[in-house]
Chain A
C-alpha cells in the first residue's frame, strides 16, 4: 500500500455519510524495532476533510507554532479518523465505521 493510494481517496462511513477526502496521514513512531534499532512508524489515523490553508502551512497539525497571531487565526484541528475504523478500501473510497469516534 502506498501513501499516494490513500491521499485523495474519499472517506465514507458505513452509513454512507461523506467525510471528505484524505489529505494527510498521522504516523506515530511506536512500531516494532527495525534493523536500525529504532521504533518503526505506524499509520494511526487519516486526516480527512477539506485541506485548509492552515493545514497547508502546518498550523492545523500543530507542527508550526509561530507567530502566535497566525497560530490563533489558522489553528483548526484536522478531523482524524483512526485507521482501526477502516472496514473497506478500494481505488476510490475508504469505508470507515467510526461510531462517533472521529475527532
Chain B
C-alpha cells in the first residue's frame, strides 16, 4: 500500500495533501483576497445588525480601517460597544466562516483573533490549491 508523504488536517476537518508553498506574489494576492473578504464581511455584519447609519458613523470613525488588525479592531469595538463588541465579533466570524465553508460552533469558546487566523489559513490554503 502506498502511503502519502505527508498530510494535514484542514480547519474543515478534511485530511488533504500538503499544498505547495506560496510564492511572494501568491501570498500578496492571498493577503489581499482575505483582507477584501474580511472588510466586506465586517461591513455587512455591522450594517445588518445595526443599520446603515451606524455603519456610516463607524466608518467615519475609522473602525473599518482596523478590520485587518484583529487586536486594534477588537479594541475599537470595545471602546464603542463594551460587552456588545463580542456579539458583533461573533456575527462577523459566523458570516466569514460561512463564506469560507468553515463550520461555526456557537457553543464553543470564542476568540476573535484565533478565528480570523483560522479563516486566513483557509484562504491561503485555497490559494495554494488553485
Whether chain B is bound by chain A comes out as no
Instruction: Give me the interface of B with A, judged by CB distance under 8 Å.
Output: none
